[in-house]
Structures are given as structure tokens and as C-alpha cells.
Amino acid sequence: MIDITTMYSGLALQNPLIASASPLTESIQNIVQLEDAGIAAVVLPSLFEEQLRVESESLDLDLSRGVDEFPEATTYFPNLTNYNMGPDGYLELIQNAKRRVRIPIIASLNGSTPGGWLSYAKDMEQAGASAIEMNLYTVECDADRTSEAVERSYCAVVELVKAKLQIPIAVKISPFFTSMAHMARKLVNSGADALVLFNRFYQPDFDPENLEVVPRLELSRRYELLLRMHWTAILYGKVDASLAVTGGVHETEDVLKAVMAGASAVMMTSALLANGIRHAHRILEELRRWLEDHEYHSIREMTGCMSQGAVADPAAFERGNYMKVLSSYSLMRR
């Protein structure tokens, strides 16, 4: 019997496949179906710091100023109290999910300031969350704020939350740091039990006819896995934390590549939305079959086998590989 169990962020998982935050994980019925399909854990949709501010009425007060003069002003913001299920409904979702399924329930907080994290992270823990995924999503537009200040604020938030909780915390970050490896180590030293690579930045589009900025969301594509796989392979063995890959995981081969790079967990969203929840069952069956065909006894045997520290040519992950990639393409001659 092939052993595909793994450890992620201190949690014992039956396999490396996690359903990451999406509308699928907002429903108890779907969470039950995800467990039945073999998913080892679920990440609930992110609760946004702005939602917590609405609940405390501070944001409501700010938005109400000037509404009489500019009624359209409030339309620039989403209906934050109704996004997902709201702060109170979120805690209820955690409690209900814990009663219905055995797999770990990972809560997700999306914020950027210490005040937006601390009290509610504790509420999530008390509601029964197995772990918390801190989604550090912020777009820095202040030209006077240095990269050092940004990194310091991230680490400070992680330290504060870690000090308050008993459950593990995973930090979901973007790849846009000048020194990704150094930043990863700083976050781990600040208390992160796991790093989730990477956050997808959903960029707005322009409507040239109406001169409007419009939101646009597209499901991930398989090519997006390459960036995640690359940095997982570099970080494996260099940080004392679990690594998870999210973004671009659609097929069994993608799961294999992520694990070989060093991921102990592989998160999937777009493929489940596009193909249905039972897609996870097929992936896991194919994963077991591949391991058996290649004479692995457990998935842990191959974890990190293609990381930078394990391959014959570690420079393949560095600048030299850039030239190899360019020279690998030759124009077809007529």
C-alpha cells in the first residue's frame, strides 16, 4: 500500500492535496463532498480586514462622509458585510465544518495592519480552526515607503499573530520581493509554520469606451505552476517551515512536480471549479498509481528530490538557466 500521508504546518494530512480558498469551500455541503473526494484539508474563503472594520462601524462612518454630495462614492467599494458570509457567519462556518468533517479546517485572514488580525484570529482559533492562513495581500502605492519598511511590517504582523495563537499559522505571500529567499526566512523566523507560494494578484482591466477600471478574475493556468515550483525548489531545506504550492495545479503531473520541488502540500482551486469536486479523486488515484509504477513506497521518499539542493546542477535554478531557456528555442527554418 502506497503511503501518501504528509505533514503540513504541523497538521497530519492523509495526502498532500488541499482545496484552497474559493466559493467551493464556503459551503458545508461542498466541504463534505471535498472530503469524500479525498481532499486532505480545506482553506475557507478569506475574511478581509475591511469586513472587520465594517463590523466595528469605523469604515461605515468613513464611507458615509460626502455621500450626500457624491452618491456614487459608495459604489467603489464591494458590499463587504455580504461578501462571503460576514465575520459572524465565518465563525459559524468553522464550527459547522468541524462538526461535519474530520479533515483540518484552515481559516484565512486577508489583511495588512496589526489591528485587522489579532482579535479575530483568536476568535477563529476558538471556533475550532485547525490553522490560520495569513494572506498578506497589499499593493504598495506609496513611493515614500521603502521595501524594508514593507517587509518589517509583514514580519511584525506575523509575530503578533503567532504570539496570540496556539494553532499553526501559514503565511501566503507574493513572489514580488527583491530577495525572496531572505524574506521567506524572515517570515519563518517571525513565527510562520508554513509558507504558501504564491498569492495571485488579480489585476483590474480598463474599459476604454467608458473610461472605467473594471475587475476581472480568470482561473489559473498550468504555466503559472512554474514560478511556484521554481521557488519551492530553492527554498526547500533552507527554511524551517512547510512549503505549499498554490496556483497552476490542475493535473496529477502538476502535483508530482510540486512535491518533487519540495512542497508538502499542494493546493487546488481552479481545476476543481472547472472540472468539479470529483476531479480530486481522479488526481489522487493517478498519484498512487504513478508512485507504485515508479516503485516509491511513500510520497515522502520523493519530496524535494528535484529541489535545488538535491539536483546535480543547482545552477539550473539560477541565472545560467536563463540563457539555456533562451537557446532552447530555435526558429523553424523553411
According to DSSP, residue 76 is labeled: G
Task: Place domain 6-46+84-308 in its CATH homologous superfamily.
Answer: Aldolase class I (3.20.20.70)
Domain ranges of the chain: 6-46+84-308
Give the per-residue pLDDT at 306: 93
Give the per-residue pLDDT at 184: 97
Average pLDDT of span 163-175: 94
In angstroms, rounded to a whole number, what is the distance separating the alpha carbons of residues 252 and 275?
14
- Of 161, 162, 47, 38, nearest in space to 94 by CA: 47
Crossing angle of helices 118-127 and 147-164, in 10° steps, is: 40
Which range, of 107-111, 117-121, 133-137, 236-240, averages the lowest pLDDT? Answer: 117-121
Average pLDDT of span 163-184: 93
Answer yes or no: are the C-beta atoms of 167 and 132 closer than 8 Å.
Answer: yes
Average pLDDT of span 15-39: 96
pLDDT at 312 over 80: no
DSSP bridge partners of 244: 196, 265
Pairing assessment for the beta strands 194-197 and 169-173 based on DSSP bridges: parallel
Cell numbers found for residue 243: 512549503
Answer yes or no: are the C-beta atoms of 22 and 49 closer than 8 Å.
Answer: no
What are the residues whose beta carbons fall under 8 Å from the beta carbon of 267, sequence distance 6 or more?
Answer: 18, 19, 20, 43, 196, 244, 245, 246, 247, 249
Which range, of 53-57, 198-202, 313-317, averages the lowest pLDDT? Answer: 53-57
Cell numbers found for residue 181: 529567499
In angstroms, rounded to a whole number, what is the distance separating the alpha carbons of residues 305 and 310?
6
Q: What is the DSSP string of 276-313?
A: -TTHHHHHHHHHHHHHHHTT-SBGGGTTTTTSTTTSS-
Render pLDDT for 275-304 as a digit per residue (tens, 0 to 9).
Answer: 999 999 999 999 999 999 999 999 999 999
pTM: 0.85
Most trustworthy range by pLDDT among 46-60, 69-83, 106-120, 185-199: 185-199
- The runs of H, that is alpha helices, within the chain are 28-36, 49-55, 58-64, 86-100, 118-127, 147-164, 180-189, 225-235, 252-261, 270-275, 279-293, 320-327
- Is residue 24 classed as helix, strand or coil in its secondary structure? helix
Average pLDDT of span 125-140: 89
- Of 79, 153, 77, nearest in space to 111 by CA: 153
Cell numbers found for residue 52: 472587520
Average pLDDT of span 126-149: 89
In angstroms, rounded to a whole number, what is the distance separating the alpha carbons of residues 106 and 289?
29
Render pLDDT for 104-128 as a digit per residue (tens, 0 to 9).
Answer: 999 998 876 666 667 788 999 999 9
- Of 234, 228, 219, nearest in space to 255 by CA: 228
Give the per-residue pLDDT at 69: 41
In angstroms, rounded to a whole number, what is the distance separating the alpha carbons of residues 22 and 45?
5
- 71 confidence band (pLDDT: 50, 70, 90): very low
